[in-house]
Amino acid sequence: MKPADREEFFARLKAVMPEPQTELEYASPFELLVAVILSAQATDVGVNKATSRLFPAASTPQAILALGEEGLKDYIRAIGLFNAKARNIIETCRLLVERHGSEVPRDRAALEALPGVGRKTANVVLNTAFGEPTIAVDTHIFRVANRTGLAPGKTPLQVEQKLLRVVPAACRKDAHHWLILHGRYTCKARKPACPECIVRDLCSFKSKTPV
Ligand code: SF4
């Protein structure tokens, strides 16, 4: 995709989504971190349902430690991989208390040292809780970047690095949410809504759904 087309691509997404937000519900960087850990291979709707019960009962590392692993499981049992996620969240809470004064660190290496936190989760937290211009490449962004020709790549890391190079600087902070929401609701995996897509003429996907 040519630089002028990339500018136009993001200008159009911005026009329809001036202030894109995550669909995960949270009220602090810690709540966001827990929600993102829970969201691996789960829907935001399912995570929000669980955290709408969990956070009023426990919304700090100490409070979740006080619940204990079994107590935490009672709130997240409906979410896939809940056993492993409960274990990771408890261990993460312990490290936050011991090493970070119970705060979520604004630092990639420190975040990635927490159990259950990989590069993608660290990128989401840095971007959404702290406003850093990071781009977490999930399945939606990977698909949109490849189909459109915006930032083709074989792995999420390749796509992330390419996006960081080609996304116009002014769009980098919000690119993450624009691309996720575009992938989730328009450029869907099975049947992309190409006829209604606002970037159809800029997109180089060869198998666009016909009008
Ligand atoms: S035209 Fe189709 S394939 Fe291209 S971005 Fe839009 S929905 Fe996705």
Half-sphere exposure of 138 (CA within 13 A, CB side): 23
How many angstroms does the Cα of residue 199 sit away from the middle of ligand 1? 7
Per-residue pLDDT at 66: 98
State the catalytic residue, choosing from 73, 85, 120, 174.
120
How many angstroms does the Cα of residue 201 sit away from the middle of ligand 1? 9
State the catalytic residue, choosing from 73, 85, 138, 174.
138
> To test ligand 1's pocket by mutation, which of 143, 203, 207 has the most ligand atoms within 8 angstroms of CB?
203
From the list 173, 78, 187, 95, the residue with the least C-alpha distance to 140 is 187
Question: Which residues, other chains included, contact 10 with Cβ-Cβ below 8 Å and sequence gap of 6+?
Answer: 167, 168, 171, 175, 178
Please state, in angstroms and rounded to a whole number, the distance separating the CA atoms of residues 142 and 158.
Answer: 10
Per-residue pLDDT at 207: 92
Please check whether residue 47 is in contact with residue 35, taking contact to mean a CB–CB distance below 8 angstroms: yes
Please check whether residue 204 is in contact with residue 1, taking contact to mean a CB–CB distance below 8 angstroms: yes
Please state, in angstroms and rounded to a whole number, the distance separating the CA atoms of residues 104 and 19.
Answer: 24
120 in active site:
yes
138 in active site:
yes
Q: Which atom of ligand 1 is nearest to the CA of 203?
A: 4
The whole-number mean pLDDT for each consecutive block of 10 residues of the chain, a chain of 211 residues, reads 94 95 96 97 95 98 98 97 97 98 97 96 96 94 97 96 94 94 96 97 94 83
What secondary structure does DSSP assign to 78-137, as a single string?
TSTTHHHHHHHHHHHHHHHHHHHTTS--S-HHHHHTSTT--HHHHHHIIIIIT-------
Question: What does each C-alpha distance from 166 to 3, 35, 157 come to in angstroms?
Answer: 8, 29, 14
Q: Which atom of ligand 1 is nearest to the CA of 199?
A: 6
How many angstroms does the Cα of residue 203 sit away from the middle of ligand 1? 6
Nearest C-alpha to atom 2 of ligand 1 is from which residue? Answer: 194
Per-residue pLDDT at 188: 97
Per-residue pLDDT at 34: 98
Is-above-0.85 flag for pTM?
yes
